[in-house]
Chain A
Amino acid sequence: MEMPKPDDMILNRKDAIVAALQEVLPSDAVIHDAFETKAYECDGLTAYRCPPLAAVLPASTEEVAAVLKVCHRMGVPVVPRGSGTSLAGGALPTEDSVILGVARMNDVIETNYADRYIRVQTGRTNLSVTGAVEEDGFFYAPDPSSQLACAIAGNIAMNSGGAHCLKYGVTTNNLMGVTMVTMDGEVIEIGRAHLDAGGLDLLGVICGSEGQLGVVTEATLRILPKPEGARPVLMAFNSNEVAGECVSDIIKSGILPVAIEFMDRPCIEACEAFAKAGYPMCEALLIVEVEGSEMEIDAQLAQIMDIAARNDPVEMREAKDADEAGRIWLGRKSAFGAMGQINDYMCLDGTIPVSALPEVLRRIKQMSAEYGLDVANVFHAGDGNMHPLILFDANKPGDLELCEAFGADILRLCVEVGGCLTGEHGVGVEKRDLMSDQFDPADLEAQMRVKDVFDPAWLLNPAKVFPLAASRDRRHA
C-alpha cells in the first residue's frame, strides 16, 4: 500500500505547527510527543501504521473551527478520526498530518420524541445514541457491528450500515441535519429537524464522503419507536444455491424481514468450534429475523418456513422465546471472533446482486484453491452485502500481500457481476486503488470535483478514496 511521501516542509515546521495549535486549544488537547502520537498510528485496518505529526482533541465546534483554520493557514493535511474503528484505513494518518479526533465531543444536545429526533455531538458512540432514548421506547436504527465503540462522526463519514438495513436503511437514510466545519474553518448548518433539507442534497453527499469534505461536529438523527418484539428462524441447506434461491423467494413473497444473514460451511464450522451454538452441520445457514407483536411474528415466521420448506431444508429451528433467539444469534455474532481464533483474517465487504450469489460463492471457492488461502463467508444476504473473511498468517512473509491480491480479485468479481467494492466499510486506503475497476475516469473526476468545492486545497484526508494517480495533481496543486 503506497502512501504519499510526507512533505518535509511540514515535518520541519512541526514545532511551529504544534505551537499554533496550542494557542487555540487547551494544552491537554494537543498531543505531539512521539510516544503519545503512536496511539493514533492506525485504525481498524491494523496492517498499516504511521504516527501523525500531532493529534488534537477539540471539545466543541468552535475549537474544531480554530484547529482547521490553523491547519488551513499552515497548509497541513488533517485526518479526521471518530473512534478509529474503520476497517478501510479511513483514519490512517500520514507522517505530515494532524489527526483531529472528535472523542471529547459526546454530549446529547437535544432529544425530541414528538418529532422523533435526537441531536448529538458526533464523538458520541453509535450504541450510546440508542442508550439515550431506549428507556423511552426509541432506538437509533443503523447498527454497525462495531456499534459499542464507533462514533457517529465515523458513521456519517463512512455511511455505515449494519445487519438491519434491509428494513431501516443505512446512516444516510437516518440523518436529518449536521453542523459541519469546512477545511477553511467555516461552520455550516445543513438541514435540521425537518425532513429533506432544502436545496441540493448536500447531506446526501457529505454522508459517505469519508471525512474528505468537512468535519461534522453535531448531527440530528432520526429515532424510531422500538418494535414490540423480534425473533429469528434458523434454516439449514445442503447447497449455497438453494439457500440463495430461498432468500430470493422470501423477498419475492412480500415479507420484509428485518435481517437475513447467511453463513457458509467454513464459517459454520469455525463458529461451532468457537461458540458451540449447536448449529446443524450443512453447506449454508440462513438466519431470518422478523419484528412485530407475537401474533405478527408467528404469522411471518410460519410463512417464511413454508417458503423454505419448498427449498429442501436440512433443518429449521424457530426461536420460540428470547433464550432460543439468543442461541440462534450466538454463533453468527461470534463469527469474527471465531475466525480470529483460527488465524489472522481480512474482512471484505463487496456487495453483489442477490441473484449472483451462487456464482460468486463458486468462484471465490475456486480462487481460494488457486491462492491457497481459506475463505469463510458470512453476510447480510437480504441486501447482497458480502463479508468474505480471508484467512492468512501475518507472520509468514508474503502472506499479507497474497491475501490482499486475493481480496482484490474478489472485489473485482463483485464489480463484474454488477455489484460494488464496498457496501458499508468504505474505500479508505484499502480499496482506493481498485476504484478504477468500478469507475471510469469521468466518474472519478465528477466525484473529485465535489471535493474541489468543499476543500479546494485538498488538505482533508487527502490520500484516501481516489487512486493516488488520479488525485495526484489536485493534492500537489
Chain B
Amino acid sequence: MMRPGTEAELAEIVRDATGPLRIVGGGTRSVGPTGGEAVSTAGLSGVRLYEPGALTLVVGAGTSLGEVETVLAGEGQALAFEPSDMRGLLATTGDSTIGGVIAANASGPRRIQAGAARDFALGVRFVDGAGEIIKNGGRVMKNVTGYDLVKLMCGSWGTLGVLTEISLKVLPAPKSRACVLVYGLSVGDAVEVMSRALGSPYEVTGAAHAPVGVDGHPVTMLRVEGFEAQVAYRAAEIAKLAGDGAVIESDPDKVAAGWAWVRDVGALQGGAGDIWRISVKPSDAATVVEAIGAEAVMLDWGGGLIWARMAEGTDLRARMHVPGHATRVRGGGDVPAFHPQNAGVAKIEAGLRARFDPRGILNPGLMA
C-alpha cells in the first residue's frame, strides 16, 4: 500500500498512476467492490488549526476520528453529526479517519436535528484524478464564494478526488442528555410517535426504533440534550407527547450506551446476510419495512433511515416502491452497492466524473 506523507507526494502518485487506485482512509466503512493499487491517506494527518471560540477545526484527512474527538472533547466540543463506528456492523478493523467520514458523508442519529457530515464541512483540499491540488470553501461558517465543491466531495467516496485536508464546523458537546423510551410499538405507531416528538419545539436530537431491542422487545427511543434543567423539562414534555407507558432514562452512561448502540447499528451486528441502508421519508418507513421482508431492521432519523439485514443477494430496491434510495453497505452480488440514479442525474454525474477523474482511476466503478 502506498502511503504518501504529504499532499504533494499524493499528487505525484496520482499523476504518475498508470492504473486504478483504491483510496483508503481507515478502511472501517468501505462499501462496494474496489480494485486497484491501494493509496492510504493515513500519512496526511494532524490537527492544523483549532479555534474553540470560532467553532472551527482544520485537520489532515488522515487524522483518526478518535484523535479528532479527543481534541474536541478537551474543549467540551464535539462533531455534532455523530459519525458512526462501523467496525461492528461491517466486521472491519483499524481506525476510522476523518477523511473517510467526510468521503462517506457518515452521519449518525443527530443528523435529524443538527445536520449531516456535509453540513459541517466548511472547506476541503483534495487531489483530483489528474493529480491537480484543489481547494474549495474555507474555514469560516458562512461562505458562498464560488461553487460549493465541499459538498460535492462529501459523499463522493473518493471517486472525484482524494481529500487531503478538511475544515469542520464543530459545536459544544451537550452537557446533559436523557432518553424517553416507549416499549412495544409497531413500526407504524413508532414512526407516528417519533414524528410527533420531532414536530414539537423540544429539539429532539435522536429518534430511533428497533422492533427487536436489546432485551428482545420493540423499543422506541427519543433523545433530548442540553443543560441539566433543560433536559429534565424537555424529557418530561416529550414523555407526555409520547403517551402512556413512556419512561424517562436519565442515567448518563445508559443514555450514551443506548445511542451508541443506535449509531453503530447494534441491532443488526453479527449474523450472515447483506446489510442495506435505506433513506425514505419517515411516513413511508412502515410500508417499506413491510415490503422488503428483511431478517432484521432498525429505524433511525425518525424513520427516515432504515437499516435492514436481507438474505444474501436480495435486490432490495426492487421491493421498495417509494421515492428514496438504498445502499448495500455489506455483502456482494450482481446488484450495485449504490442506488442507480435517474437518467438526468446519471448523465450529470458521469459528466462530473469525466472532468474530475478523466482517466477513471479513482475508486473506479464504486459509485457508478
Mask, B123-164, CB within 8 Å of A = 1, is 000001000111110111111111111111011100010000
**Contact for B198 among A116, A159, A247, A422, CB less than 8 A:** A116
Whether the Cβ atoms of B281 and A193 lie closer than 8 Å is: yes
| Cα A256 to Cα B225 with chains together (Å) | 13
Whether the Cβ atoms of A353 and B56 lie closer than 8 Å is: yes
Whether the Cβ atoms of A254 and B172 lie closer than 8 Å is: yes
Q: Does A439 contact B (CB under 8 A)?
A: yes
Given A194-B304, A254-B76, A355:B51 Cβ within 8 A: yes
List B contacts of A199 (CB < 8 A): 325, 338-339, 341, 345, 349, 367-368
List B contacts of A186 (CB < 8 A): 344
> Looking across the interface, which residue of chain B has its beta carbon closest to that of A189?
B342
Whether the Cβ atoms of B230 and A383 lie closer than 8 Å is: no
Q: Does A166 contact B (CB under 8 A)?
A: yes
| Residues 129 to 144 of chain A near chain B (Cβ within 8 Å) | 137-138
Would you give the shortest CB distance from B193 to chain A, in whole angstroms? 11
Whether the Cβ atoms of B344 and A187 lie closer than 8 Å is: yes
Bin chain B's interface residue count.
35 or more
> Looking across the interface, which residue of chain B has its beta carbon closest to that of A456?
B351
Whether the Cβ atoms of B201 and A226 lie closer than 8 Å is: yes
List A contacts of B352 (CB < 8 A): 200, 449-450, 453
Q: Does A124 contact B (CB under 8 A)?
A: no
> Looking across the interface, which residue of chain B has its beta carbon closest to that of A199?
B341
Q: Does A42 contact B (CB under 8 A)?
A: no
Q: Does B330 contact A (CB under 8 A)?
A: no
Q: Which of B33-41, B111-119, B210-218 forms contacts with chain A?
A: B111-119
List A contacts of B156 (CB < 8 A): 200-201
Mask, A244-272, CB within 8 Å of B = 1, is 00011101111110000000000000000
Whether the Cβ atoms of B118 and A201 lie closer than 8 Å is: yes
| Cα A328 to Cα B151 with chains together (Å) | 37
| Residues 51 to 95 of chain B near chain A (Cβ within 8 Å) | 51-56, 75-76
**Contact for B140 among A158, A209, A420, CB less than 8 A:** A420
Whether the Cβ atoms of B146 and A444 lie closer than 8 Å is: yes
| Residues 439 to 453 of chain A near chain B (Cβ within 8 Å) | 439-440, 442-444, 446-447, 449-453
| Cα A165 to Cα B277 with chains together (Å) | 30
Would you give the shortest CB distance from A469 to chain B, in whole angstroms? 16
Whether the Cβ atoms of A252 and B348 lie closer than 8 Å is: no
Whether the Cβ atoms of A205 and B134 lie closer than 8 Å is: no
Bin chain A's interface residue count.
35 or more
Q: Does A9 contact B (CB under 8 A)?
A: no
Q: Does A380 contact B (CB under 8 A)?
A: yes
Q: Does B283 contact A (CB under 8 A)?
A: yes
| Cα A447 to Cα B325 with chains together (Å) | 27
Given A112-B283, A452-B355, A423:B53 Cβ within 8 A: no
Given A116-B198, A443-B135, A188:B348 Cβ within 8 A: yes
List A contacts of B146 (CB < 8 A): 427, 435, 438-439, 443-444, 447, 465
Whether the Cβ atoms of B151 and A172 lie closer than 8 Å is: yes
Whether the Cβ atoms of B348 and A453 lie closer than 8 Å is: yes
Q: Does B279 contact A (CB under 8 A)?
A: yes
> Looking across the interface, which residue of chain A has its beta carbon closest to that of B112?
A195
List B contacts of A256 (CB < 8 A): 171-172
Would you give the shortest CB distance from A461 to chain B, in whole angstroms? 13
| Cα A117 to Cα B283 with chains together (Å) | 12
Given A426-B144, A439-B146, A248:B325 Cβ within 8 A: no
Task: Name which of A112, A166, A198, A431 has the most chain B CB atoms within 10 A of its CB.
Answer: A198
**Contact for A355 among B54, B149, B368, CB less than 8 A:** B54
For the complex with contacts A115-B281, A438-B146, A443-B136, 7 further pairs of A-B residues with Cβ separation under 8 Å are: A195-B305, A199-B339, A427-B145, A446-B132, A446-B149, A447-B149, A450-B352
Nearest 5 CB-CB pairs, A to B? A204-B151, A248-B53, A198-B325, A453-B351, A423-B142
**Can you list 11 A-B contacts (CB < 8 A)?**
A114-B282, A194-B323, A199-B338, A199-B341, A201-B151, A202-B345, A252-B52, A300-B227, A354-B51, A435-B145, A435-B146
Q: Which residues of A are at the interface with B, using a C-beta cutoff of 8 A?
A: 112-117, 137-138, 158-159, 161, 165-166, 169-170, 172-173, 182, 186-190, 192-205, 207-209, 225-228, 247-249, 251-256, 292-293, 295-296, 299-300, 351-355, 380, 383-385, 418-427, 431, 435, 438-440, 442-444, 446-447, 449-454, 465
